[in-house]
Structure 1
Amino acid sequence: MNTRVNETERKRIAAAISVWENEGGAPGQDSMHHQYGRRIEADHSWTIYHVFTGVPARFGGDAMTGLSRMDATSGMLRLNLRNAERRRERIELSSFRAVPELAECGS
């Protein structure tokens, strides 16, 4: 294989990885915990958005738009982690309530 083909293939793979990262990366086993992605806008700023609706995320009343890549990445990870923690708490609470003896102790 010649060098030109290898370079073209490397660029194609790098572009694919970039798209994958912008969508939030690998979802892991509990993909429902990953609801936010990041995308680059036409003005080269970054937006954190809800992956199912495409609507920019809101945090503290502010739309998560006009961000740097680093801020968008860290914000996306924080929002996804916060959602994962909330779901975990709900699952633990529902498991606790499912066992009558434990539910009575908690009352």
Structure 2
Amino acid sequence: MIGVLDNEASASVRSHGDEQYGRRIEADRSWTIYHVFTGIPASQEGLEMIGLSRSVATDGMLSLNCRNERRRKEYMNGLLRVSVLLQTARAN
């Protein structure tokens, strides 16, 4: 029996540039990596991430989520730098 957590993804509040992916098992027992906010299968290099084994789906989901976490941090760091620059400019 497949555990409940195997089909669930922990989604956070969506922000600019932030995408969260989960994995789900399909009726044919294959796995799909999907966007948790839309339910649409993820695609990589033009190929939908469907019909996967559990281990490939897990690795792919973790990879996509790590990549997007890095992008989110870069975006937030950029906002912080702009905020500091604006504060410095206002102080002068």
Q: TM-score, normalised by structure 1?
A: 0.68
Structure 1 or 2, whichever has the larger Rg, is 1
1:52 aligns with 2:43: no
Give 2:57's aligned residue. 72
Q: Map Cα deviations across residues 12-51 of structure 1 (whole Å, 9 max, x no partner).
A: xx75xx2223223x56xxx346711111111111000111
Q: How big is the alpha-carbon RMSD for the aligned residues of Structure 1 and Structure 2?
A: 2.3
Whether the 8 Å CA contact 2:6–2:24 is kept in 1: the answer is no
Aligned length: 84
Name stretches of at least 5 consecutive residues in structure 2 with no aligned partner.
none
1:92 aligns with 2:77: yes
In the alignment, the residues of structure 2 paired with residue 21 and residue 85 of structure 1 have an alpha-carbon distance, to the nearest angstrom, of 24
In the alignment, the residues of structure 2 paired with residue 20 and residue 49 of structure 1 have an alpha-carbon distance, to the nearest angstrom, of 15
Q: How far does residue 84 in structure 1 lie from its aligned partner after superposition?
A: 0.8
Whether the 8 Å CA contact 2:21–2:64 is kept in 1: the answer is yes
User: Percent same amino acid among aligned pairs?
Assistant: 52
- 1:31-50 superposed matches below 5 A: 31-32=12-13, 35-50=20-35
Of 12, 17, 21 in structure 1, the residue corresponding to residue 6 of structure 2 is 21
SS of aligned partner of 2:75: helix
Q: List 4+ stretches of structure 1 deviating above 6 A.
A: none
